[in-house]
Amino acid sequence: MNFSRQFLPLFAIALLLASAIVFVPVSAASSMNIVVEADHNEYSFASVNGTASFVVTLTNDGDSDFDSVMMDASFNDESWMMDNVTFTYSGSNSTGSIDLGSLASSAIAQVTVDVVVGFGAKVDMSKFVYMDLGVTADGQDFDVSDTVIVVSNWVAYQADFPASPAVNTYDIGSNYTYQIMVENIAVEKLPGGGTQAVDIMDSITVQFGGLGGWTISSEDPAWDSFQGGVLNGLSAGQTYTWDIRVELSSKVKAGSADLDFQAFSVDPNDPFGFPYYQPFGMISIPVSASEMFGIKIDGAGSRTVDLSAGASIADWTVRVTNLGNTDDDFTINWDSQGVPSGWNLNVDTSGPMVTDSISWNGFYEFDVVLSVPSDALAGSTATFSMSAASNGDSTQTASQEFTAVVDQHYGVTLSVDSDSKQSKPGEDVDFIFNITNTGNGQDNYILSVSGPAVWNPVLSQNVSSISAVSVSQFTMTVSIPSDRDAGASSGDIEVTVVSSDGLSTANSTVSVMSSQVYDIGLDHVSGSDGVVSVTQETQILLKLNITNNGNGIDTLNLTMTNAPSWASLGADTMQIGRGQTQALTITLSPDAAALSGRDYTFQVVVTSADGSEYTSPDFTANIEVKETSGGGEVEVEEIESDDDSSTPGFGLIASLLALTTLVVLRRRA
């Protein structure tokens, strides 16, 4: 059994990795393109008594035909016999070499080369054996690059090999799971011919290459967080699978990288104990680290200024550190309102400054100098602050304060995203408040709210801790009672913020209004299914109950769809109050042209003031033929419907519409 027969079926849906060489002889009229495919690049794997396989594709890409094409193999080591090399082409095979016959221009020939690793063939410590394949076409030699037989009892690969797994993008702390497999490919020769899989005792190790910032772990007891995966032998034909977890555990440079694993083993039966290292590339996991931005600023603090010798200075060295994983620059703003008149600060506080580009893990430094005049009184203070923001991600900010003999002062402002909002009854409305600490130090604020209890105003928090010259947000949620009419107002709801000094306060007043809900219900009147029979040249009335299920007065537009020309509505518009039901009259007056026996099905379409459309249940009118009779008889036809008790406020008119008597004078035809 050879490795390609054991290993490649695992990847039936993937292409073999190929190395291709094009050889063009002196004559421009003839040319041969030769592509060799193996298990991994130029490598094919097999154990002693196993078979390594290669697929060679020859393409005549010249202008002339080849009459005779030959292929052979050779080794530098005579212990590797040509009889162990089998060429298979077009259903036939040959050992040592093969005659492929002719190859016309643009024709393709594909040859399988199987190499049996015979017992007694010499293999050096590297376990790599180089085989030369030669191609001769009409006397012209076309050399093929070295093919390599890797003599090993096992092979290790990531589960998607030869393809690469999907590239996952990592943030710090995120992780994804992959599989690494180790397959026992060792076989022994049977007395009657053929081979069978055998156990191996090789000590096999799979280790991560150790790219910084990435952590590899597994819950498998055969995987150690430091040594990697270690197997002490495999049973015959066994494939061992590790589920490993790859995690970005610390900051790495943004962008793509390959996590390579090295697989190696020591054969306990090898008297020299030299390790075998599998070629790189079969256990490689592509990853991508997403961009992250961050900032740290240092250097501020309190300074004591000694004026005993006259005017003096206080100085600081400020460092802006890029905590991100990609190049970035930063915008710095200064607040120097706390610097007394006559004191001179050497930084430009009139507008923002932008640092030079700072590499990841780099920093930018500059000096800040405050000149203090000699006539400054004892206890005088100066305070100023700086804030810096990443230009790659403006949400990443930092600030710091500089003090020269300073006492803390307090202040607060409060703003809200809107003074008033509206929504539907039963829904919640959120107001977003910004608290700004206008003082020069950390401050804790007590938050409170007052307002109508039935509207249940609730703050997201009762205490807020905010750094100097910084802003924090909190939310107030107001629940609109479900029974409120459209336009109902909560009245004033006041939010108050009190600084920790007990003196600095700010408040804001908001209100909530109930918006209108539009919802119209359409039904046949009680006892009716909307189906009637009507005789030509007679008249009948139908009714449709319209109910306002919303929370306010609605103005409706009324139309019909699919209706015959002799059907009409009793009204084109209607104003209806909350919870009210009104009956709409539909008059059917078929003329003699109305088709007898035909069913006319139509609907009423009601449009609310907000543009919402509602379609009634079907109405169906069946036309009956008009009968003629002598004399001037008068025939009375009655069509009844039950009184709709759900229609308030319509009294006698609604009752008369519910029971309509039509008197039709029939004339002699």
Which CATH number is 269's domain given? 2.60.40.10
Q: Which domain holds residue 355?
A: 295-404
Across the range 227-236, mean pLDDT stands at 95
Domain limit, last residue, from 93, 127, 151: 151
Q: What is the pTM of this model?
A: 0.53
* Residue 441 binned pLDDT confidence (cut-offs 50, 70, 90): low
Same domain, residue pair 159 and 258:
yes
With a cut of 90, say whether residue 312 has pLDDT above it.
no
With a cut of 60, say whether residue 657 has pLDDT above it.
no
Across the range 645-663, mean pLDDT stands at 35
Which of the two residues, 441 and 485, has the higher pLDDT score?
485
Which of the two residues, 606 and 656, has the higher pLDDT score?
606
CA 546 to chain centre: 47
Sign of the alpha-carbon torsion through 418, 420, 421, 426: positive
pLDDT at 216: 95
Token pair recorded at residue 194:
């053929």
pLDDT at 537: 87
Token pair recorded at residue 98:
């093969």
Whole-angstrom distance, CA of residue 325 vs CA of residue 255: 9
Sign of the alpha-carbon torsion through 11, 12, 14, 18: positive
pLDDT tens digits, residue range 155-214?
999 999 999 999 999 999 999 999 999 999 999 999 988 899 999 999 999 999 888 899
Same domain, residue pair 17 and 140:
yes
Domain limit, last residue, from 497, 514, 531: 514
Across the range 246-265, mean pLDDT stands at 95
Same domain, residue pair 372 and 439:
no
Q: What is the DSSP letter of 488?
A: -
With a cut of 60, say whether residue 121 has pLDDT above it.
yes
CB atoms inside a 10 Å sphere around CB 427: 14
pLDDT tens digits, residue range 589-613?
998 887 777 889 999 999 999 999 9
pLDDT at 225: 85
Same domain, residue pair 540 and 602:
yes
Number of structural domains in the chain: 5
Same domain, residue pair 366 and 465:
no
Same domain, residue pair 227 and 334:
no
pLDDT tens digits, residue range 522-572?
999 998 999 999 988 899 999 999 999 999 999 999 999 999 999 999 999
β-bridge pairing 108-116 and 599-607: unpaired
CB 243 within 8 A of CB 222: no
CB 329 within 8 A of CB 431: no
pLDDT tens digits, residue range 21-30?
333 444 446 8
Same domain, residue pair 422 and 434:
yes
Across the range 148-158, mean pLDDT stands at 96
Residue type at position 271: P
pLDDT tens digits, residue range 44-100?
999 999 999 999 999 999 999 999 999 999 998 888 999 899 999 999 999 999 999
Same domain, residue pair 429 and 394:
no
Burial class of 148 by CB neighbour count within 10 A (0 to 12, 13 to 18, 19+):
buried
Domain limit, last residue, from 135, 151, 167: 151
Could you tell me what percent of the chain has a pLDDT over 70?
Answer: 88
